[in-house]
Amino acid sequence: MLEVICGSMFSGKTEELIRRLRRCRIAGQSVVLLKPVIDKRSVCEVKSHNGNTFEAKEISCGEDILKASENVQVIGIDEAQFLPEDAIQAIIDLSRIYEKRVIVSGLDMDYKGRPFGIMPTLLAVADDITKLHAVCEDCKQNASVSYRVTEEQEQVVIGAKDKYVALCWKCAIKRDASKLGVYSESDVLNSGEKI
C-alpha cells in the first residue's frame, strides 16, 4: 500500500506523517521514518514546523531505502521531493512486491508552482493521496503555493519561514507573478492588467 501526503510548505504534511506512524506504533507494528540526507535542519529526527519530532534515519538513494526497510512493516518517508529517480522503484517494490505500508510525504510543487522531483510520479502510482493546504498568510484562505521571499533561483533552497510563506494562488500572483512559473513570459509582462 502506497500512501502519498502532499501539499505546500506549512500545510501539515510532516504532522500527518508522524500522526500515522504513531498510530502504527500503538497498533504494535514496526515502523521506520526515513528522510533525505540533503535536509540538514534536524539530525536523526524529523521535526514539524510546530516542533513535533519523530526519530528518523537518513537516506540518499533507492538502495538505502530498501536496506533501512528490512524487517519493518511500515515505512515513512519525509521530504520525498529531494530523492533521486531510483527511489521510485524502491518505493514501488516495497509497497507492491514486499507488501509493506509505505507513507510518503513531500512537496507537490516547488516555489514556482512546478511539479517537484519524483513527487508527480509517486502521486501517479499511489494507492491513496492526501493533499493538504496551509493557511494563506495574506488572505487566510487555503494556500497551495510555497512562495519564496528571497531572490534565490535554484530549485532546492533549504529553509522555513526565513525563506518561504504559504500563499493562495491569487495572493502569490498579487505579490509578484514573475516569481511563479505558471505564466508565459508575455503574460508576466502584462500581469498588472490581469490582477
Ligand X SMILES: Nc1ncnc2c1ncn2[C@@H]1O[C@H](COP(=O)(O)OP(=O)(O)O)[C@@H](O)[C@H]1O
Ligand Y SMILES: Cc1cn([C@H]2C[C@H](O)[C@@H](COP(=O)(O)O)O2)c(=O)[nH]c1=O
Q: What is the contact surface with ligand X in residues (CB under 6 A)?
A: 7, 9-15, 48-50, 134-135, 137, 166
> Minimum distance from CB of 126 to ligand Y (Å)?
18
Stretch that binds ligand Y, among 69-77, 93-101, 117-125, 158-166 (CB under 6 A): 158-166
E strands, the chain, are 2-7, 31-36, 45-47, 53-55, 57-59, 74-77, 101-107, 128-132, 134-135, 142-143, 145-148, 164-167
70 is catalytic: no
Residue 46 cell numbers, joined: 524529523
102 annotated binding-site participant: no
How many whole angstroms separate alpha carbon 64 and alpha carbon 127? Answer: 23
Per partner kind, with CB cut-offs from 5 to 8 A, the member of ligand X, ligand Y, Zn ion, none near residue 137 is ligand X
Candidate list 18, 110, 130, 144; residue touching ligand Y; CB under 6 A:
110
For the chain, give the number of residues. Answer: 195
Most distant CA atoms of the chain, gap in Å: 58
How many whole angstroms separate alpha carbon 130 and alpha carbon 92? Answer: 18
β partners of residue 32:
75
DSSP for 6-44, please give it: EESTTSSHHHHHHHHHHHHHHTT--EEEEEETT--SSSS
> Minimum distance from CB of 137 to ligand X (Å)?
5
Active-site residue, selected from the candidate residues 3, 15, 58, 79: 79
Candidate list 159, 161, 189, 194; residue touching ligand Y; CB under 6 A:
159
Q: In the window 16-45, what residues touch ligand Y (CB under 6 A)?
A: 39
Residue 168 touches Zn ion, criterion: CB under 5 A: yes
Q: In the window 121-140, what residues touch Zn ion (CB under 5 A)?
A: 136, 138-139
Nearer to ligand Y among residue 29 and residue 153 (C-beta): 153
Q: List residues binding Zn ion (CB under 5 A).
A: 136, 138-139, 168, 171
Catalytic residue numbers read 79
